[in-house]
Amino acid sequence: MLKEISEHKTGQRIAQNLPERRYRPELHGVRGLAILGVVLFHLFGAGRVSGGIDIFLTISGFLFTGMLLREVAEQRGRLDFTRYFGRLFRRIFVPAAIVIAATVAVGLVVFPTPQHGQVWTEALASLLYFENVELIRSHLSYEAASQDVSPFQHFWSLSVQGQFYLVLPFVVLGTYWLARRFRTSVAKVMAWLLAAVLIASLAYAVYVGAYAQDEAYLMTRTRVWQFAFGGLLAIVIDRIRLARTTRFIVGYIGLVSVIVVGFILEGAQMFPGPWALWPLVGFALILLAAPTNSQDPVQKGAAPSVLSNRVFAWIGDHAYGLYLWHWPLLVFYLTLRDRDAVGIRGAAIIFAATIVLSMLMHTFVEKPLERLGKTRRGPRLNWISLSAGATAMAAGVLIAFPHIPTDGDRMTASVALDTSVHPGALSISDNYAVGEAEFIPGLDRLHRDLPPYKFQDCEQEGGQEPGTDTISVCEDPQAPANPTARVVLAAGSHSGHWESTVRSLGKQYGWEVQVVTKSGCPLQNNDNPDRTVCQSWNDNFIEWLNINDVDLVISSATRIVGQQSNEVIMNGAEDRWHEIRDLGIDLLLVRGTPRPGDDGGRCLQNGGAPQDCGVIAGDAANPNPLETMELPDGAHTIDMNPYVCENLDQGSDAWCEAVVGNIIVWYDGSHFTPEYAHSMAPAFEREMHQVFPQYLN
């Protein structure tokens, strides 16, 4: 008897201060307003961010945290997982799967064949809720709509949500166990946990945003704090009571804040950092203006009353469909019309089509599934839902997987050129004719046109971050079973940008080519306190060479920097060259190449003419300084600058154009596009044959 009384009191204590179970019409209206803002800003906002997604994530945290806390407390530490995930399948997965299937079907018709592999890759990533991870892996940052943007890009936020929905039940169960262990309220424990998560995740968002904003925008870890913010609101909001007049004022402050944030802040560059608190605090103020319980009447004329009207209720009902359909429609429209901007008329057409499709989905998919959930509750329906979801995911994997390109496929596709149209460096080295043709790669995708190894998730990070001095190897996915030579492209990213050149020769002569780089870290040996991690990486690289079977190391050996193209050799580089030769490994040192900075690809993107974009040759026109140095025996150098700058015989004032042979030379301020690097393979072969003919037989 005493034990039962104690258990009852413990249960009451644990269940204290739980969020009330009730329908909040103003929250439904805010959801509609948030998604409407997302859609309208995508269509009319020229790449601006409305803040609607941040609110949408916070609403998810609010609803699901409150729901699971109540259920776990009421069931005394138990949770019906089949019911939870079955409901998620019916409400979230089914509509998303329909849009994914439709997007694949249209994408395979609209996009050229070389893009089909990426369509399948992102379709599968969206279906399995890791599209945000795939976008980061593929170096596809969040961008305004254009012909070159993925029609699945908007699934990044749904992927973040899906990951949250998967983890949250286990967090709540763990929180209940802690509350029971310490005989306190589960809401109190959850509030402290959410506060800690909010602070840690927001701090991490600031940290990552300082050096990789594109990744910070898409990461789950930088977004978790927004779910935590919503969860905290669910726990505390009804315990905050304001005077009637105060509620009226703060409600409209919140509503105006939510509406105007996208017009004032550059969200794509500032979210999910501290500035993302703006729309979230606005959302919180709207909730503070609402009744604190289901018995209180809604204040007439107040912001919650406005958001509870039929218009916002209708938008809230159709919000999911509006979000799912609008983005692929926009991307397909731009592709079919061959435009980079949608225009007012086009935006209106897409908006109308989005409304129609969302209405059809709501009527024939969402509502029937909702009614099914109400009329056939129980384990059977939930098991059927889970089985159907698992089957759909498995089918998606089986259908998509054969079409997803391997690393080898990506390497082949990235350098496939029609040299009669796009000769690139061959127009200099082999006198190929240059006719009228569009430049490649396209300007819209220029910053994503990276060397293939960057898509293998194997490049060591640059900078001085702890742990980035370890050796990470990018293997050769096309390596022959019995290679004629093992070649390593090594050191900084300006060694890495020769990958397409070297792999082309490797394929021709049977090499196994590995890429071992640390961005911003050439071969060097010095005591500069600002480069201690790079120094350590160099030490580790020599050790790695010592225990691996390597025949030839190829590395960039000089730096030609600045608008005057001044040439330097890193301090202590010669020490590393000798260490490599002492291991019996051949060494090919490639002279550095001019770096145009903002006058390269960015100049072209800003409308500059090819002949006006580029950089003066400067020191690149002088003789190769490596040829006058006493290099170790078995180390040789080549100079590829005559195949980058066409008129070096004119001296240091010679102009190195940003486009050669209809191929853009640099994808950023200093690195070659894979296409241009590939076009230099024949010239590289001839230069290399002068010093290492044994590798070219």
Q: Which amino acid is at 500?
A: S
Q: What is the pLDDT of residues 461-497, one digit of tens each?
A: 777 677 788 999 999 988 899 999 999 999 899 999 9
Least confident of 110-114, 531-535, 613-617: 110-114
- Residue 404 backbone dihedrals phi, psi, to 5 degrees: -80, 125
Does the structure show a pLDDT above 80 at 6? no
Amino acid at 494: H
Residues 6+ apart with CB under 8 A from 190: 65, 69, 172, 175, 231, 235
Are residues 421 and 662 in contact, defined by beta-carbon separation less than 8 angstroms?
A: yes
pLDDT for position 373: 72
d(Cα 636, Cα 16) in Å, to the nearest integer? 76
Q: Does 278 score more than 60 pLDDT? A: yes
CA–CA distance, 507 with 408 (Å, rounded to integer): 11
Q: Helix 277-288 and helix 224-236: axis angle, to 10°?
A: 20
CA distance linking residue 508 with residue 481, whole number of Å:
14
pLDDT exceeds cutoff 70 at 143: no
Which secondary structure element, helix H or strand E, spans residue 343, and what is its range? helix 343-361
Model confidence pLDDT, tens digit, residues 218-268: 999 999 999 999 999 999 998 888 888 999 999 999 999 999 999 999 888
**pTM as predicted:** 0.75
Chain centre to alpha carbon of residue 270? 16
Could you say which DSSP state residue 518 is in? Answer: B
Looking at the DSSP assignment, which residues form a beta bridge with residue 609?
none
In contact, 586 and 613? CB cutoff 8 Å: no
Where residue 556 falls (left for φ over 0; alpha for ψ -120 to 50; beta otherwise) is: beta
Structural contact between residues 626 and 637, judged by C-beta atoms closer than 8 angstroms: yes
Indicate the pLDDT class of residue 64, thresholds 50, 70 and 90.
very high
CB 51 within 8 A of CB 267: yes
Contacts of 512 (CB under 8 A, 6+ apart): 476, 479, 480, 483, 485, 486, 487, 506
Residues pairing with 588 in the sheet: 554, 636
Residue 548 pLDDT grade (very low, low, confident, very high; cuts 50, 70, 90):
very high
What does the pLDDT read at residue 162?
96
Specify the pLDDT at position 337.
86
Distance separating alpha carbons of residues 593 and 295, to the nearest angstrom: 73
Instruction: Over range 635-657, report the average pLDDT.
Output: 90
Domains of the chain: 32-401 (no CATH), 413-695 (3.40.50.1110)
Phi, psi at 528, each rounded to 5°: -60, 120
For the chain, counts of helices (H) and of strands (E): 28, 11
| 438: Cα within 13 Å, side-chain hemisphere | 5
Q: CB–CB of 488/516 below 8 Å?
A: yes
For 315, left (φ over 0), alpha (ψ -120 to 50), or beta? alpha
- Burial track 291-301 (b if 16+ CB lie within 10 A, e otherwise): bbeeeeeebee
Give the ranges where 302-342 is alpha helix by DSSP (H): 303-307, 310-337
Give the pLDDT confidence of 124-137 residue by residue, as tens digits.
Answer: 999 999 999 988 88
pLDDT at 409 over 60: no
What is the C-alpha R_g of the chain? Answer: 29
pLDDT > 70 in the chain, percent: 92
Lowest mean pLDDT among 35-39, 211-215, 365-369: 211-215
Q: Which residue has the tokens 């044959």?
A: 689
Spatial separation of the C-alpha atoms in residues 368 and 285, rounded to whole Å: 34
d(CA 495, CA 522): 8
pLDDT at 425: 92
Q: Give the chain's length.
A: 697
Element (H, E) at 686: helix 681-689
| 8 A C-beta contact, residue 640 and residue 679 | no
pLDDT tens track for 476-485: 988 899 999 9
